[in-house]
Amino acid sequence: MLVAFGALSTTLAAQSRDSVKSVPSNHAIGFGYFATLGSNWQIEAVEIGYVHRLSHGLAAYSIGGRVGTFMDESTVLGGSRGMVFATTVSARTRLHSIAQLGEDEHGTAIGLDVTFEASGYVASGSPFWQGSHWAALSLLPSLRIGGGAITLGPTLFLGDRKPAMRGMLAFRGEARLARREPHP
């Protein structure tokens, strides 16, 4: 994780205001907390990924990864079991603005959008009947405030047997990557 953060962070020279001017980029790092909802065993995970914002059509697409554990929601202590890893590909619609905080020109937008997501899971010690690997498709409406979002929606788990529907909750954020502009 430290190597990934080091590779994705800006250089010290880019942080200096005197030598290089940074301008907003279409690239961002996405991060967040992910959980399935319901009774008994659930997944709780952290996620990190690359986000590319588009100028036309969809607002953004992203690719990311999750790592987490299974939590038994019916127990008070010691309810974790196994590990789960996921790779996720998603596309997000444009923001439908419902309000704005702050100044007219540089205010923080508040609005709604929808994320379409496809994920592949690999698990060890899985209590789910899907076994050690399965896929998931999600349709996730979001309340977005600036660079952060609260996402809640249905997820369809596809395994060897019949599909299962679960709710999904995620708290997500994005941090734009700086882009260096040539020195005049």
pLDDT digits (tens, 9 = 90+) for 73-112: 766 666 677 899 999 999 999 989 888 888 777 778 899 9
How far apart are the C-alpha atoms of 43 and 38, rounded to whole Å?
10
Of residues 177 and 150, the one with the higher pLDDT is 150
Task: Quote the tokens at residue 84.
Answer: 């789960």
* Average pLDDT taken over every residue of the chain: 82
Q: How much is the pLDDT for 109?
A: 84
CB 118 within 8 A of CB 90: yes
Cβ-proximal residues to 121 (8 Å cutoff; 6+ apart), any chain: 84, 85, 86, 130, 133, 134, 135, 136
Domains and CATH numbers, the chain: 23-179 (2.40.160.20)
How far apart are the C-alpha atoms of 122 and 84, rounded to whole Å?
6
Q: Is 180's pLDDT higher than 70?
A: no
The confidence band for 12, taking pLDDT boundaries of 50, 70 and 90, is: very low
Cβ-proximal residues to 143 (8 Å cutoff; 6+ apart), any chain: 110, 111, 112, 149, 150
Q: What is the DSSP string of 43-78?
A: EEEEEEEEEEE-SSSSSEEEEEEEEEEEEETT-SSS
Of residues 4 and 81, the one with the higher pLDDT is 81
Q: How much is the pLDDT for 167?
A: 92
pLDDT digits (tens, 9 = 90+) for 46-82: 999 999 988 888 989 999 999 998 887 766 666 677 8
